[in-house]
Amino acid sequence: MKKCGCSLGKALLKLCLKLFGICFAALAVLFTIFFFDLDGKLLYYVVEPFLKKHYDDMERKDTLKDLYDVDKYPKREF
């Protein structure tokens, strides 16, 4: 007796359904991130304070104390 080739079709259907489910779940997650602007909130509440703290504490040369001549530009050393 010959076996029916339907098992290949069923396996392909299961694979397609799993792939569709994974794509739908990814779309739902990405839509939630977009709808509630979670990426912007992450940048505003986590990344920006870290960057402000890092760059505000850096030592900088006070450029107001440099002498200014019209024809000469001060050499800047940091």
pLDDT score of 25 more than 90 = yes
pLDDT at 61: 83
pTM tops 0.75, yes or no: no
Unique residue bearing structure tokens 């339907």? 6
Calculate the CA 53 to chain-centre distance: 20
Residue of 16 and 2 predicted with greater confidence: 16
Residue of 9 and 20 predicted with greater confidence: 20
Residue-averaged pLDDT of the chain:
87
Report, as an integer, the average pLDDT of 3-12: 79
- Please, which residues have CB within 8 angstroms of residue 76's CB and are 6 or more apart in sequence? 61, 63
**Confidence band for 1, pLDDT divided at 50, 70 and 90:** low
Residue of 45 and 78 predicted with greater confidence: 45
- Cβ(36)–Cβ(42) below 8 Å: no
